[in-house]
Structure 1
């Protein structure tokens, strides 16, 4: 189970590092052209804040668990990513983009699995 959790954690880290870097550096037009259409209804300052939160969550997925310092932060980071994915799936669904909403739902499931696995390992 631990190996699966680490693999899924790595997948989440790659996806959210790419997403967070893109949202924190690209213009609205470039983000939408690159497929990040879910940002369309939101003001750019909010998109930038979410991007920074995604990048902090990536660090939170690994650093506390590896250093065995404040390990509760790892599942909390995964919960935070789950919340972001709920918002993203809702945004894509409202834009009538079922494939993107489905991809967000899959990422939500991965983040929820990591959160549950890491919370269970705390006891």
Structure 2
């Protein structure tokens, strides 16, 4: 189970790191043209998009680095919980915009993050 958790955590960290870096370094107007999955940026200010990107980058780092360095590994489930809160917000925005297919993807991420948080807080803690 520990190996499965590391795989899921690594995939989540990679996804959030890439997504967060994109939000931090690409202008909001350019993000919106990436396709339907990025049109949510039309509803937010540039600062809010960059803030979400910063949270995603910090969450991605928090999913992996504390456990790898064995320094405050309690940060791993806390990072997963924080990213889960971000995904609740993302799913809410998708629901309000009527983007139900994309909302389903957000909910898959949410389930994976809750799984990591539950396992690392509980039976498979470091």
Same fold (TM over 0.5): yes
CA root-mean-square deviation = 1.3
How does 1:37-56 map onto structure 2 within 5 Å?
A: 37-56=39-58
- Give the structure 2 partner of residue 2 of structure 1: 2
Distance in 1 (CA, whole Å) between partners of 2:8 and 2:40 is 23
Contact 2:32 2:41 in 1 (8 A): yes
Which runs of 5 or more residues in structure 2 are unaligned?
A: none
Which runs of 5 or more residues in structure 1 are unaligned?
A: none
Q: TM-score w.r.t. structure 1 length?
A: 0.93
Contact 1:32 1:40 in 2 (8 A): yes
Distance in 2 (CA, whole Å) between partners of 1:47 and 1:75 is 24
- Give the structure 2 partner of residue 67 of structure 1: 69
Size of the aligned set, in residue pairs, is 123
Contact 2:28 2:49 in 1 (8 A): no
Deviates more, 1:93-102 or 1:35-44: 35-44
1:36 aligns with 2:13: no
Distance in 1 (CA, whole Å) between partners of 2:85 and 2:42 is 18
- Give the structure 1 partner of residue 14 of structure 2: 14
Q: TM-score w.r.t. structure 2 length?
A: 0.91
- Give the structure 2 partner of residue 99 of structure 1: 101
1:117 aligns with 2:108: no
Moved over 3 A (4+): none
Deviates more, 1:35-44 or 1:91-100: 35-44
